[in-house]
Amino acid sequence: MPNRLSGKRVFITGAAQGIGLAITEVFIAEGAHVFLIDRDEALLEATAAKLKEGGAVVGYQAADIADAVAIGEAVGKAAAEIGSINALVNNAGVNVFAEPLQLADEDWDRCFDINLKGAWNCCRSVLPDMIARDGGVILNIASTHAFTIIPHTFPYPLAKHALLGMTKSLGIEYAAKNVRVNALAPGYVETQKVIDYWSSFSDPEKAKIETLKLHPGRRIATPREIALAAVFMISDECPFMNATCLTIDGGLSVLQHQ
């Protein structure tokens, strides 16, 4: 089914690399017009230029999602460049992992400012127009950290649990306005962040193997696999899916031990 996202004008955060870039590329292939947000201005400009060379309808703005004013301005720019936003993908996030009693206040703030407040800034910037135009869809990229706990990853799971709570709350709040709000929870994904994590060990290959062994299928997801799930959730193929979360982790969160 080609052009599954035809007519979708999508605001995507953290769009210049990793899962966000994969989502952007697959969405364009499915007919969406996209507006990209990322803090890395140079990388964002290069990404947008490359996508435009392929004929995609792309707008972009370098911004920190924790800055509500900047996001409000970006949504206005998006409407002018690609049309009124009727879909949002809250993908931008940051890993903040610590032993709880060793966590600095500034790291707590950074975790929640980006992983929760930033997503809310985007939601509240696009919701009024979605409601006025009789509908839209929001997809929050959560994590299996939203319902499981790994020791020494505090406070990241708190923020992701809260993001899942916000997903459910907004989905219920605006269901009668024809706005769907859902979450997608990836497990391990082979992004540069994960590769850098493996590289932080004295034996990166061994660290990678240990990660793969955690999974029933002995592999982890590719960014494109996450993006393909996002296509379904943004599309009109699941019009009655609302206020819920789709897990895509190869069965990791179901496996008790092995």
Q: Which residues are catalytic?
A: 156
CA separation, residue 161 to residues 30, 55, 99, 142 (Å): 30, 38, 18, 8
Q: Please give the Cα distance from 176 to 182 (Å, whole number).
A: 15
Q: Please give the Cα distance from 234 to 26 (Å, whole number).
A: 12
CA separation, residue 27 to residues 19, 31, 89 (Å): 12, 7, 11
Contact in structure between 14 and 38 (CB atoms under 8 Å): yes
